[in-house]
Amino acid sequence: MRIIPSKMRYFFEGFTKDRLPEGMAEALQSFLTVENVYLAATREISTKLENLNDEFKITLDQNPIHQIHTRIKTPKSIMEKLLRKGHELSIASARENLNDIAGVRVICPYIDDIYMIAELLTKQDDMQLICKNDYIKNPKPNGYRSLHLVVTVPVFLSKSTEHVKVEIQLRTIAMDFWASLEHDLVYKLGKEKTEDMMRELKDCADVISQTDARMQQIHSMITAKQDCSQK
């Protein structure tokens, strides 16, 4: 297989020769053959979400989706996660054991939008829900809130159809604001983070969650009044 030099620099970013575990170079090369499949899977999900958003914009004059972000895990991240979990270093192992090689993040204005979009998306005939973790109703100990879905979506290739796993994270603008800053702050703190700092971040998450709930309540009241006026 022909390897493009620029691709190999991307694959090996963060590694030095003496740090490459046995078999990693071969596994990274193999990733080239399936990377496009995961990219195609995120495009499939994005198109479905955009179609739903466009429909609601026309029929209800609202946009339940604020933003859509997609990403593919880097080969370095994939291999490190496989090593950390004690799995074999291979593409087959990655596809079997990792649910988040392909990821789609959906940012919604309101909490109700999250559950509506999740329900409509997973009801589509060609989507299969593998697992669901509701960190909105059951936040993580650090205050993180989001709805996580792992689904499979068909990717149609020239000679076959592959069902590819994609992790979808749905959160409000407020949840995304906290998650982005928390990630940045914790990374900067590193080993210097203390219980007091983590407690403060958790308190911020709780305050933001309360604001999210109040904004949802206001939105629901306005929507109810509009519905009554149209009857």
Report, as residue numbers or ranges, the catalytic residues: 167
Output Rg (C-alpha) for the chain, integer angstroms. 21
In 109-207, the DSSP E strands lie at 128-134, 147-156, 161-172
- Determine the Cα–Cα distance for residues 169 and 121; give it in Å rounded to an integer: 12
- Determine the Cα–Cα distance for residues 65 and 211; give it in Å rounded to an integer: 19
Q: What's the one-letter identity of residue 124?
A: Q
DSSP classification of residue 26: H
Strand partners, 168: 104, 149
Give the number of residues written for the chain: 231
Evaluate whether 121 touches 49 at the Cβ level (below 8 Å). Answer: yes
Strand partners, 167: 103, 150
